[in-house]
């Protein structure tokens, strides 16, 4: 089996799908960045906050001053266009990926699964010769042109897209999702005024059917996309599924990114077979089976193995942590937990001094409304803000004190319950190891909203 996989991975295949992936990726990124400008998201994410939640080791990352973030996204838009055109690709793709990664490292509350995916896909494209055809680079430097690439390059992109679907399906393997249809019931009931279909959204069975459909889709779609006999029908299901989720759940660019990325599962020559395009781009290279096989260098093989292992391990890490991930959020990020929980919360901080006096510190003194909304249901962000409040109070000359958080958090429509132990001084807590300062999740099933 190993020899067969090695032989399949090193054989030459048409470069057309890899070049098309580059073009589509650049075009989608350009559209997404222009969407940020038109919807006004840049200001609330980077200009309005007075303080930012940091990733460990990246506390030094801060937004550009003044209108610098608008300029930054303008540059990213230009780089995305150059990716689509295949112009100065080897410089442009790393610059775009690092520039986009920078925007995500500024504040943890900006985290979105599809933004993480953009960084991963950009990082992979930076090491693949996706500019060797249908590009400005191939036109100005004919020596870069090639008609084929080893299959492992296409497989690597397929692996990354497949990881998203598989772990998104695994994340839905929970009682709330499959047993109670939550949180889909909450979201659908809020859209019951939609014409024609809205009357079904409040029915007890509808959210449950949709939840099972989402689980089965995510868990099996990679198989159907990988099988030539079902691939076309499977891609039709991809378009329908992501169109529905995009309309009903308002999850930004995620449906477009996934729908366009899933094209990598088609035959490497699929762009040449389009009726309106095939004649222009030329026929597929003949006798690729006779071309010499091309294995990645040893260093590249090691890097690929490490990358694959990380992409499998990161989404599974929450299984080694105690407590449910949807409640304590330990291992929630970088794990493809896509739209699997609805959490609302409120947090009140209190400082207790040696003389017994208490001082209430509203989180809105430090955060914007958007940041506060994200922070209230995520324990690590509550802890990070508590430490910031502690530093601020010490800088203001307050004497020795303890800092407590009083929380009320609702998970998938349940009644609000305390999430942080109110007797624990958060200034003495470490976020390394089990989060023993997070209380157990509330018991009982979630409610059903509707008729």
pLDDT on residue 111:
95
pLDDT on residue 282:
66
Strand 12-14, strand 358-361: pairing: unpaired
pLDDT on residue 279:
58
Closest C-alpha among 132, 106, 165 to residue 23:
132
pLDDT on residue 162:
97
pLDDT on residue 160:
98
State the average pLDDT over residues 121-147.
95
Q: Tell me the angle at which helices 254-261 and 151-171 cross, rounded to the nearest 10 degrees.
A: 140
317 pLDDT above the threshold of 80: yes
Tokens of 117: 């995916």
User: 181 by DSSP, 3-state: which?
Assistant: coil
Euclidean distance between CA atoms 100 and 115, whole angstroms: 8
Is the entire prediction scored with pTM above 0.85?
Answer: yes
Is pLDDT larger for residue 449 or for residue 280?
A: 449
State the average pLDDT over residues 34-51.
94
Q: Confidence class of residue 255 from pLDDT cuts 50, 70 and 90?
A: very high
Domain extents for the chain? 2-319, 343-428
Q: Confidence class of residue 250 from pLDDT cuts 50, 70 and 90?
A: confident
Tokens of 451: 């008729």
Of 196-210, 388-402, 415-429, the range with the lowest mean pLDDT is 196-210
1 pLDDT above the threshold of 70: yes
Cβ-contact 451, 203 below 8 angstroms: yes
Angle (CA) 440-401-361 rounded to 5° is 70
Place of tokens 């059903």: 448
73 pLDDT above the threshold of 60: yes
State the average pLDDT over residues 98-107.
97
113 pLDDT above the threshold of 80: yes
- Dihedral (CA of 155, 157, 160, 163) sign: negative
318 pLDDT above the threshold of 90: yes
366 pLDDT above the threshold of 90: yes
pLDDT on residue 360:
95
A 10 A CB-CB count for 116 gives 17
User: 451 by DSSP, 3-state: which?
Assistant: coil
pLDDT on residue 287:
66
Q: Confidence class of residue 392 from pLDDT cuts 50, 70 and 90?
A: very high
pLDDT on residue 430:
84
Of 144-148, 264-268, 344-348, 433-437, the range with the lowest mean pLDDT is 433-437
State the average pLDDT over residues 328-354.
94
pLDDT on residue 289:
66
Q: Confidence class of residue 196 from pLDDT cuts 50, 70 and 90?
A: confident
**Residue 153 phi/psi, 5° resolution?**
-65, -40
**Residue 438 phi/psi, 5° resolution?**
-95, 125
Over the range 395-428, which residues count as b (16 or more CB within 10 Å of their CB) and which as e?
eeeeeebbbbbebebbbbbbeebebbbeebbbbe
Tokens of 78: 């230009």
Angle (CA) 395-400-402 rounded to 5° is 100
pLDDT on residue 55:
96
User: 411 by DSSP, 3-state: which?
Assistant: strand
Closest C-alpha among 314, 378, 380 to residue 171:
314
Euclidean distance between CA atoms 373 and 115, whole angstroms: 20
User: 90 by DSSP, 3-state: which?
Assistant: helix
Q: Confidence class of residue 286 from pLDDT cuts 50, 70 and 90?
A: low
Strand 358-361, strand 148-150: pairing: unpaired
4 pLDDT above the threshold of 80: no
40 pLDDT above the threshold of 60: yes
35 pLDDT above the threshold of 90: yes
89 pLDDT above the threshold of 70: yes
pLDDT on residue 381:
96
307 pLDDT above the threshold of 90: yes
84 pLDDT above the threshold of 90: yes
State the average pLDDT over residues 81-86.
97
443 pLDDT above the threshold of 60: yes
Tokens of 384: 């990070």
Euclidean distance between CA atoms 397 and 62, whole angstroms: 26
Cβ-contact 21, 264 below 8 angstroms: yes
State the average pLDDT over residues 83-107.
97
- Kindly report each contact of residues 222-229 with a partner whose C-beta sits within 8 Å and lies 24 or more positions away, as own/partner: 222/162, 222/165, 222/166, 222/265, 225/262, 225/265, 226/158, 226/265, 228/267
pLDDT on residue 261:
97
What integer best gives the mean pLDDT of the chain?
A: 93
Residue 424 DSSP code: S
Q: Confidence class of residue 274 from pLDDT cuts 50, 70 and 90?
A: confident
State the average pLDDT over residues 278-289.
67
277 pLDDT above the threshold of 70: no
10 Å CB burial of residue 185 (0-12, 13-18, 19+) is buried
- Dihedral (CA of 371, 66, 38, 108) sign: negative
**What is the percent of the chain where pLDDT is above 90?**
81
284 pLDDT above the threshold of 80: no
Euclidean distance between CA atoms 89 and 145, whole angstroms: 13
pLDDT tens digit sequence for 412-425: 999 999 999 999 99
Of 7-16, 88-97, 227-236, 301-310, the range with the lowest mean pLDDT is 7-16
């Amino acid at each position: 089996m190993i020899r067969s996989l090695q032989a399949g991975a090193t054989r030459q295949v048409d470069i057309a799908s890899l070049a098309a992936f580059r073009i589509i990726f650049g075009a989608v990124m350009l559209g997404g960045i222009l969407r940020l400008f038109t919807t006004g998201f840049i200001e609330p994410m980077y200009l309005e906050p007075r303080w930012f939640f940091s990733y460990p080791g990246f506390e030094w990352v801060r937004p550009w001053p003044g209108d610098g973030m608008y300029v930054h996204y303008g540059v990213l838009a230009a780089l995305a266009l150059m990716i689509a055109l295949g112009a100065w690709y080897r410089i442009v793709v790393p610059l775009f990926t690092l520039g986009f990664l920078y925007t995500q490292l500024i504040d943890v509350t900006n985290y979105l699964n599809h933004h993480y995916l953009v960084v991963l896909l950009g990082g992979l494209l930076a090491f693949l010769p996706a500019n060797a055809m249908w590009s400005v680079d191939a036109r100005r430097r004919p020596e870069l042109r090639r008609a084929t690439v080893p299959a492992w390059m296409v497989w690597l992109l397929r692996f990354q897209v497949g990881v998203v679907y598989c772990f998104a399906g695994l994340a839905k393997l929970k009682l709330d999702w499959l047993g109670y249809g939550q949180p889909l019931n909450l979201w659908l009931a809020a859209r019951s005024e939609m014409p024609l279909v809205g009357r079904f959204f409040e029915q007890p069975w509808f959210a449950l059917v949709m939840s099972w459909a989402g689980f089965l889709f995510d868990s099996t779609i990679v198989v159907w996309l990988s099988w030539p006999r079902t691939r076309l029908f499977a891609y039709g299901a991809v378009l329908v599924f992501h169109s529905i989720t995009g309309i009903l759940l308002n999850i930004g660019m995620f449906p477009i990114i996934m729908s366009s990325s899933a094209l990598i599962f088609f035959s490497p020559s699929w762009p040449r077979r389009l009726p309106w395009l095939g004649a222009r781009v030329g026929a597929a290279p003949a006798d690729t089976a006779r071309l010499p096989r091309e294995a990645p260098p040893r260093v590249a093989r090691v890097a690929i193995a490490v990358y694959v292992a990380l992409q499998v391990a990161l989404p599974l890490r929450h299984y080694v942590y105690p407590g449910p991930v949807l409640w304590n959020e330990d291992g929630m990020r970088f794990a493809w937990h896509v739209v699997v929980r609805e959490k609302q919360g409120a947090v009140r901080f209190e400082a207790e001094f040696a003389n017994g006096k208490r001082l209430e510190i509203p989180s809105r003194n430090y955060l914007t409304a958007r940041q506060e909304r994200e922070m209230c249901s995520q324990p690590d962000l509550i802890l990070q803000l508590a430490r910031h409040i502690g530093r601020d109070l010490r800088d203001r000359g307050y004497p020795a004190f303890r800092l407590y958080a009083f929380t009320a958090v609702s998970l998938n429509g349940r009644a609000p319950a305390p999430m942080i132990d109110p007797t624990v001084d958060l200034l003495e807590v470490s976020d390394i190891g089990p989060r023993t300062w997070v209380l157990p999740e509330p018991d009982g099933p979630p409610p059903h909203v509707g008729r």
